[in-house]
Amino acid sequence: DAGVIQSPRHEVTEMGQEVTLRCKPISGHDYLFWYRQTMMRGLELLIYFNNNVPIDDSGMPEDRFSAKMPNASFSTLKIQPSEPRDSAVYFCASSLWGRTDTQYFGPGTRLTVL
Amino acid sequence: AQSVTQLGSHVSVSEGALVLLRCNYSSSVPPYLFWYVQYPNQGLQLLLKYTSAATLVKGINGFEAEFKKSETSFHLTKPSAHMSDAAEYFCAVRGGFKTIFGAGTRLFVKA
């Protein structure tokens, strides 16, 4: 299995631009999680989906952030407009119902907003 | 509500020395506890997990952790550190369908 795939691996953009991060979960997994990691705040859960439905988005910092999961094999996290404080590493993770104790993380997208 | 506290944001050991990374948890129900490891520029990967079976849990790369209910602890140990163990380690507890991660402990291994 290829594992969780994220793209791009690195993104550099200017303040005010729209940023879209992409994630392909492990095939057959029905939970998908988006996390943000910064030095100051550590690892934060932003949102998670079950069977493509958003279950808990209480970690999404602002309305500038949105996430979708149009099908079982694809999810996006969008920031519009982006700000320098959004600079972080964004991780996607997936897990399987009944085994939600183990999450499989992607390699992350390092976002830099200038 | 569940939470974990990792004691020490940085730990430094010499190669061949004992590794001890500390984690205390808080949970209103019998906890599921985990240790994840993050190598530079990579995502987190599971080291080991406790799911109410044996209190001493063995994981990958020679790591193990012991669940101590009386101390609400789940410390991670390895008898002999290797240079390749240098990474950040996260203790975590499952809360519902979410996993709550600690702040992380960065392990440095000196030659």
What percentage of chain A exceeds 70 in pLDDT? 96
CB distance A103–B99 less than 8 Å?
Answer: yes
In whole angstroms, give the CA distance from residue A40 to residue A73.
Answer: 32
CB distance B98–A108 less than 8 Å?
Answer: no
Strand partners, B97: none
In whole angstroms, give the CA distance from residue A22 to residue A58.
Answer: 20
Cα–Cα nearest to B2, from B45, B23, B32: B32
CB distance B45–A105 less than 8 Å?
Answer: yes
- What does A13-73 look like in DSSP terms, one character per residue? E-TT--EEEEEEPPTT--EEEEEEEETTTEEEEEEEEETTEEEE-TT--STTEEEEEEETT
Q: What is the pLDDT along chain B (111 residues), one digit of tens a residue?
A: 788 999 999 999 999 999 999 999 998 787 889 999 999 889 999 999 998 778 899 999 999 999 999 999 999 999 999 999 999 999 999 877 778 899 999 999 999
Residue B24 near residue B69 (C-beta atoms within 8 A): no
- Give the model confidence (pLDDT) of B25-56 as tens digits: 998 787 889 999 999 889 999 999 998 778 89
Would you list which residues of chain A are within 8 Å, Cβ to Cβ, of chain B? 4, 31, 33, 42-43, 45, 48, 50, 55-56, 91, 93, 100-108
pLDDT value at residue B99: 85
| Section A18-26 average pLDDT | 97
User: How big is chain B by its Cα radius of gyration, in Å?
Assistant: 13
